[in-house]
């Protein structure tokens, strides 16, 4: 797969790059960012995947996430994909919570979305192969994290692939998409009306159906205006308690849903992941 370098910058003793390639899954060009700390020429570094939320692309966390200093210190590659396929020929919706910018990390089965909206396969299969071929990545040491819709993506991808990821964390994740307006709209639109087909894209349902990871770290802002209607971390807490999964749910008073919140706890999450990627 041909990889185009869009930009490359020196930062915190490493290289922050933005890259573009033609995706065989989404049938569009896809753009993503990668930070690689300085390392020995033959060295291979562990990876942290970061999945962004509604309306975002790779640039939001790249510009606002404040992760580079911690990644350089800890020796972590940080990868930030886009949230959906994009382009003039890609179907879209006028609402912010569906269509371009809102791929929900699913493989859509409904027209017209099914031709391009294959973010599950893109994140789980295509992009990892591209990373392995082009970056000094130790694919045996991978962690995943995300925010909001991306927190939903990180949790569900980790639960479906427990042998791939050594750790998973999230900032304000959509914990139970089957039971919130964002999730019902996205899963119904991309997957159709059969709610049984939605369960593999809901962290709580996956846990109820037997999926397991050893532990999960979640930070949630107490001042988040989406907390009660969309995020519902109490449902994730209940599912983890019932399944014996060690969930650390930290309610952070006053913090909201923004990157001011995310950047405040980013280094904590990266250190938590680094300790599990040894």
Active site residues: 148, 224, 257
State the burial class of residue 267 (Cβ atoms within 10 Å of its Cβ: 0-12, 13-18, 19+): middle
Instruction: List the 45-51 sheet strands across, edge first.
Output: 4-11, 14-22, 29-37, 77-80, 45-51, 137-147, 165-171, 215-221, 246-252
State the burial class of residue 244 (Cβ atoms within 10 Å of its Cβ: 0-12, 13-18, 19+): exposed
Q: Is 50 helix (H, G, I), strand (E, B) or coil?
A: strand
CA distances from residue 268 to 17, 73, 187, 274 in whole angstroms, order as listed: 23, 13, 32, 10
> Per the structure block, which two tokens stand in for 162?
């427990």
């Amino acid at each position: 797969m041909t990889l185009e370098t869009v930009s490359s910058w020196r930062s915190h003793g490493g290289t922050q790059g933005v890259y573009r390639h033609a995706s065989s899954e989404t049938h569009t060009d896809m753009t993503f960012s990668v930070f690689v700390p300085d390392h020995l020429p033959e060295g291979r570094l562990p990876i942290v995947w970061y999945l962004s939320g509604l309306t975002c692309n790779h640039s939001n966390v790249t510009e606002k996430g404040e992760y580079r200093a911690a990644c350089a210190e800890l020796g972590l590659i940080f990868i930030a994909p886009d949230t959906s396929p994009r382009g003039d020929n890609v179907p879209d919706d006028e609402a912010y919570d569906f269509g371009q910018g809102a791929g929900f990390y699913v493989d859509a089965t409904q027209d017209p979305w099914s031709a391009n909206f294959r973010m599950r396969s893109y994140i789980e299969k295509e992009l990892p192969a591209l990373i392995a071929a082009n970056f000094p990545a130790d694919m045996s040491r991978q962690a995943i994290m995300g925010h909001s819709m991306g927190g939903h993506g990180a949790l569900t991808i980790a639960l479906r692939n427990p042998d791939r990821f050594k750790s998973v964390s999230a900032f304000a994740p959509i914990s139970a998409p089957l039971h919130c307006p964002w999730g019902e709209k996205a899963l119904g639109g991309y997957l159709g009306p059969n709610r049984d087909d939605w369960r593999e894209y809901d962290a709580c349902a996956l846990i109820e159906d037997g999926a397991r990871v050893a532990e999960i770290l979640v930070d949630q802002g107490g001042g988040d205006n989406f907390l009660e209607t969309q995020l519902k971390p109490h449902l994730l807490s209940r599912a983890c308690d019932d399944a014996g999964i060690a969930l650390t749910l930290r309610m952070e008073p006053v913090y909201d849903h923004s990157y001011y919140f995310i950047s405040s706890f980013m280094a904590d999450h990266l250190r938590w992941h680094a300790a599990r990627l040894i």
